[in-house]
Structure 1
Amino acid sequence: MAVILIVEDDVFTREIAELMIQDWGHHTLSASDVDEALTLLRSPQTIDALFTDIYLKTAVLGGCELANQAIKLRPKLRVLYTTGNCITDKMKALFAEGTHFLPKPYTQHQLQDSVEDLLAA
């Protein structure tokens, strides 16, 4: 059982991801933007993995910036990125080392496989 921080600015998408991940026995924390996520990451709360949208309304490349800051705060944190937008090579260069990517839209099975792969890494 892991604690996964979900950062997604779309409420519906965030809630669906939370429900699916909780159904597999994991605990979830959620944030709608980079600031909320960083507040949780700076807290003593256990967080095993970060599942973040790359494009957050409050920041260009918010998910990439967030992941890089999160790994500085928690070096062993595992990161799973998601987006429904095109990913360029320049964008991939911003990904934190050792991260994973799941394109939107994703199915419950795809999310579960990605989360399991992430936690096993």
Structure 2
Amino acid sequence: MAVILIVEDDGFLRDDAETMIQDLGHDILSASDVDEALLLLRSPRRIDALFTDIYLKRAVLGGYEIADQAIKLRLNLPVLYTTGTTIDDKMKTMFVDGAHFLQKPYTRFQLQNSVEILLAPLALSPAQLIR
């Protein structure tokens, strides 16, 4: 079981993602904007992965900014980006290294598959086994 931070400014989509991820057996933390997400990332709370919308209201870089700060605060934190808009190769250059992407709208199966891929390296980490 992992703790996944979900950052989504649309309450309906955030609730839906929370439910789906909890149904997969994971714990969640959630934030509706950059400030809430950074507050959680700076806290001592356990966070094993980040699932963030790329475009957040009232944020210039939104999910890009959150992911960039997240990997500075928590080294090797797995990141899964999502958005409902089409992204091009130029936009992908803004992804943090090793990040994954899930296009909205996504199905429960697509989210499950993406989360499994995202968390796979953690299953091999001795630090995770000790927790």
Mapping of residues 1-121 of structure 1, within 5 Å:
1-121=1-121
Root-mean-square deviation (CA, aligned residues, Å) is 0.7
Q: 2:104 corresponds to which letter in structure 1?
A: K
Distance in 2 of aligned mates of 1:76 and 1:88: 25
| Alignment TM-score, normalising by the size of structure 1 | 0.98
The structure 1 segments of at least 4 consecutive aligned residues displaced by more than 2 Å after TM superposition are: none
Amino acid at match of 1:42: R
Percent sequence identity over matched residues?
74
Q: Match of 2:79, as an amino acid?
A: V
Structure 1 unmatched runs, 5+: none
The normalised TM-score by structure 2 is 0.90
Distance in 2, matches of 1:86 and 1:113, equals 20
Deviations 1:48-80 (A, max 9, x none): 000000000021231011101110000121000
Rounded to whole Å, the distance in 2 between the matches of 1:91 and 1:48 is 25
Larger radius of gyration: 2
Q: Within 1, Cα distance between the matches of 2:60 and 2:102?
A: 19
Q: State the number of aligned residues.
A: 121
SS at match of 2:81: strand
Q: 3-state SS of the aligned residue for 1:52?
A: strand
